[in-house]
Amino acid sequence: MLKQAFVAVLFVATGTAFAAEDKFKLVQAPGAAQVQANCVACHSLDYIQLNSRFLDRKGWEAEVTKMMKAFGAPVKKEDVPAIVDYLSKEYGKQ
């Protein structure tokens, strides 16, 4: 019975988490396609919104570099400038 209750709670919590991921939508601007193609392979787009109030251009450059080097994110090198430009312009700390 305890195992069934655990599974039920896990199912509800997971379902809630997946449902919440659809709420954040990227601003449609140059670079959004590269962000969508490269970033969601590892995390939800909510991560961008959560960090947007803290990161300026240098911060976004560091964040993209960290994702690639420390976490092994499969980001295409040719997409990096567009990703950083997009994130700093649309979600950067001003």
Mean per-residue pLDDT for 41-67? 91
Predicted local confidence at residue 16, as pLDDT: 46
Distance CA 43, CA 17 (A): 12
Nearest to 33 by CA among 89, 86, 94: 86
Is the confidence at residue 75, as pLDDT, over 50?
Answer: yes
In a domain, 18, yes or no: no
Q: Count helices and strands (H / E) in the chain.
A: 5, 0
Is the confidence at residue 10, as pLDDT, over 90?
Answer: no
With bands split at pLDDT 50, 70 and 90, how would you rate the model's confidence at 7?
A: very low
Predicted local confidence at residue 52, as pLDDT: 82
Where in the sequence is the domain holding 49, given as residue range(s)? 25-91
Three-state SS at 89: helix
Is the confidence at residue 17, as pLDDT, over 70?
Answer: no
In a domain, 12, yes or no: no
Predicted local confidence at residue 53, as pLDDT: 84
In a domain, 16, yes or no: no
Instruction: Kindly report the CATH number assigned to the domain that includes residue 84.
Output: 1.10.760.10
